[in-house]
Amino acid sequence: MRLRYTPQAILDLEDISDYISLKLLNPQAAENIIRSIAKDAAALKERPYLGVELRKKTGRDIDGRALISGQYMLIYEVGDEVSILRVLDTRVDYLRMIGTW
């Protein structure tokens, strides 16, 4: 199955990388985290239903799935392809953000 990142997911990854590289002054950690997220996302090509259904996670009527990658959550949909919609930090109020796109 094909994997694609939405423009918002790409922005999320850039924000994560920039924060760790520029604010925390640790570009190597940023590279490692982005690489780990990409590896976990790539696993969805073979096992697209690996993550939990969002409606089970949130109790809301929301389509899509979530997969934890370290301290980040990949929000994605499965159709003809796996579409990564967002990459959210699990330490923030991600439940408020889910379903607002």
Token pair belonging to 85 = 């919609």
Closest to 34 measured CA to CA, from 9, 52, 6, 53: 9
Q: What is the largest CA-CA distance in the chain?
A: 40
Q: What's the confidence (pLDDT) of residue 56?
A: 85
Q: Counting runs of H as helices and runs of E as strands, what totals does the chain give?
A: 4, 5
**Segment 25-76, tens digit of pLDDT:** 999 999 999 999 999 999 999 999 999 999 887 778 888 999 999 999 999 9
Q: What's the confidence (pLDDT) of residue 94?
A: 72
CA distance 45 to 49: 10
pLDDT average, residue stretch 8-17: 98
Residue 6 and residue 75 in contact, taking contact as beta carbons nearer than 8 Å: no
Task: Show the domains of the chain with their CATH numbers.
Answer: 2-97 (3.30.2310.20)
pTM across the whole model: 0.90
